Copies of this chain bind each other. A is one copy, B any other.
């Protein structure tokens, strides 16, 4: 590992000049620049990020915190983050906070001592504690949380998206639409999505039928049972996650109901699972990868923070259709 002094010696200049050339600053002649560049190539010199970070009090590290690394939604956002970070010459430091955010404090400390350039929070809100732990110099932004507080975020408008999703089902002719919601105490977006559904149903003078799941596949079958117990004549189910939506499709078929002929099913997020069922799952899509990318670019500009609302989009696949003509 050649150091900046090695390069300086080789080029017959001072380390300061090498630094200037390497960092594209001003203050050297064309001739010296050439000599330095040759020396850099000859010695295969690489800037030491640790030393630079120590001196400049800033590294090209972006911290990413997700509740769970293996989650499909988080993975897609991370993919976007990674792409944008790579393009900007940043490295991504990954942390798992756990569903209850247990580990978040220690990660934040680590990121601070590594002088991270910024932090992205996936599916988590920026609490005052987080802000404080990070100190005044590290910007933070959250993704996939529609935050009404005005703090930096990149997300869709969950209330509006759920409203539009419900309107879509209403537009197909459905009146008896069940909502498989999420637990608002553990999942932040659960509440606005429920509210959007309620607004659309109320406007259409339809009777809301709701129950609560966990967002995961396992809770789908039971949720469907609870919905059907309340109204066996439901012609459509709106699940606020694809995993639950897929579970509902499978469970309906197991119960002998055809999808979408007897019952339509609509999911949320547009993760890859939505395409892996038969029939494929219609869903309210979030541009997850793009949200990850946008979060990074916004974070690095570090001005114009505040929330950014991304567009949602209804993806019509095989699991939705008009209701059957009933007597």
Is there contact, CB below 8 Å, between A94 and B96? Answer: no
Interface range on chain A: under 10, 10 to 19, 20 to 34, or 35 or more? 35 or more
- CB neighbours (8 Å) of A202 from chain B are none
Is there contact, CB below 8 Å, between A82 and B110? Answer: no
Main secondary structure of the interface of A (DSSP, over half): helix
Partner of A96 from the list B68, B86, B103 (CB cut-off 8 Å) is: B86
B-contacting 9-mer, from A51-59, A174-182, A227-235: A51-59
* Given known A-B contacts A69-B78, A289-B70, A113 and B275 have beta carbons under 8 A apart: no
Partner of A92 from the list B95, B109, B113 (CB cut-off 8 Å) is: B95
**Complex CA–CA separation, A29 to B103 (angstroms):** 33
**Complex CA–CA separation, A306 to B113 (angstroms):** 34
A238 lies within 8 A of chain B by Cβ? no
A254 lies within 8 A of chain B by Cβ? yes
CB contacts under 8 Å to B, within A36-56, are 46-51, 53-54
Is there contact, CB below 8 Å, between A49 and B114? Answer: yes
Is there contact, CB below 8 Å, between A276 and B275? Answer: no
Is there contact, CB below 8 Å, between B109 and A46? Answer: yes
**Complex CA–CA separation, A143 to B250 (angstroms):** 33
Is there contact, CB below 8 Å, between B114 and A276? Answer: no
Partner of A49 from the list B82, B92, B113, B273 (CB cut-off 8 Å) is: B113
Partner of A278 from the list B91, B243, B253, B272 (CB cut-off 8 Å) is: B253
